[in-house]
Amino acid sequence: MDGKKSCLLRLCAYILTEGKISPLADRIKPKYAQMDKTGGHQRMSTETIRPAGLTFEQVAEFHERGFVKIGKLLDDDRVETLRREYDHEFDQAYLTGHYRNLARNETQDVVERNAASVKMLQIMQMCERNIHFRSLLYHKPILDLVESLLGPNIQLFHDQALFKPAHHGGAVFWHQDNAYWQCQPANLVSCWMTLDDADVHNGAMHLMPGSHRMAVTHDKSAETNLLFDMEKSVDPSKAVTVELPAGGALIHHCQTFHYTPPNLTDRQRRAFIIHFMNPGTRSMRTGEFIPVSFSNPMLRMRM
């Protein structure tokens, strides 16, 4: 057999046994997959020893409740890197004014904005500013979880950093994400990740089980023209609070009602969220499909 043929055969065998060719990001060894000090063997990081995807029970739970708690997903080395990069991006954003404070009505005056007494700070599309957040979009354990719900063709809708600084962190009022987005079909899923321990005091996620089954018309908040506030449509006594460690994750449906309280503690709460969709998702505002692009890349595909 000539060299070309044998190479082709080996490639076919690889595709058949693995089911896919790993994206480039998977093939770059993360820096923490290093030699184990004890035995000289490569030690698996927590990211590679996790079972791929959601279990059957977790998928059922997602469909029943509209969310599923994953728990610790990102290992401490990665969390440390992301924290550093997150802080750097917010420092830059403070200088340039390229962020939004969801807790206040918009003002163009950067000094006035930076001085706000209540802050729910948002940077959209961290993946367009920072390579570490871009590469997180392709993090295999995250995509495996999402694949359990959306199937193997996954496109980015958008990502965002949502930062509640210590002492001054504002609330994100009760809402369904798709009330903002107006996407069709309404089957997008979000992976909400924390870079700090998030508990009920500093801004943990609160969700309303089963609320993903019906879309509700939303009203603007009286406090800020950037947020909806649907507190009157939910019964907070039925809400589930999901506390997470730094590097923890939660997956929720785009119609699940959710809320995060103010952060008045002396601990900051840094969150990063990736919103995923299937290719072929349409904006109901324009009636158009959301095209694949640098801002809305395909993150995983299988032919």
Site for ligand AKG in 175-214 (CB under 6 A): 177, 190, 192, 203
Give the x/- contact pattern for ligand AKG in 72-101, rule: CB under 6 A: ------------------------------
The owner of tokens 């987005």 is 181
Between 172 and 251, whose beta carbon lies closer to ligand AKG? 172
Is 164 in contact with 280 (CB distance < 8 Å)? no
Give the x/- contact pattern for ligand AKG in 240-259, rule: CB under 6 A: ------------------x-
Q: Please, what is the minimum distance in Å from the beta carbon of residue 119 to ligand AKG?
A: 12
Q: Which two tokens stand for residue 40?
A: 């000289």
DSSP letter assigned to residue 225: T
Is 79 in contact with 247 (CB distance < 8 Å)? yes
Cis peptide bond prior to 185, omega within 30° of 0: yes
User: Residue 142, Cα to own-chain centre: how many angstroms?
Assistant: 9
Between 177 and 196, whose beta carbon lies closer to ligand AKG? 177
Q: Please, what is the minimum distance in Å from the beta carbon of residue 57 to ligand AKG?
A: 25
Q: From the list 193, 234, 273, 299, which residue makes contact with ligand AKG (rule: CB under 6 A)?
A: 273
Q: From the list 118, 123, 172, 249, which residue makes contact with ligand AKG (rule: CB under 6 A)?
A: 172
Between 45 and 254, whose beta carbon lies closer to ligand AKG? 254
Between 156 and 162, whose beta carbon lies closer to ligand AKG? 162
Q: Please, what is the minimum distance in Å from the beta carbon of residue 46 to ligand AKG?
A: 23
Q: Please, what is the minimum distance in Å from the beta carbon of residue 131 to ligand AKG?
A: 23
Nearest to 166 by CA among 197, 135, 193, 190: 197
Between 147 and 177, whose beta carbon lies closer to ligand AKG? 177
Q: How far apart are CA 102 and CA 223, in angstroms?
A: 10
Q: Please, what is the minimum distance in Å from the beta carbon of residue 45 to ligand AKG?
A: 26
Q: From the list 101, 130, 155, 260, which residue makes contact with ligand AKG (rule: CB under 6 A)?
A: 260
Site for ligand AKG in 125-164 (CB under 6 A): 162
* CA dist 73 → 32, 123, 272 (Å): 15, 22, 13
Between 172 and 242, whose beta carbon lies closer to ligand AKG? 172
Which residues of the chain form contacts with ligand AKG (CB under 6 A)? 162, 172, 177, 190, 192, 203, 258, 260, 271, 273
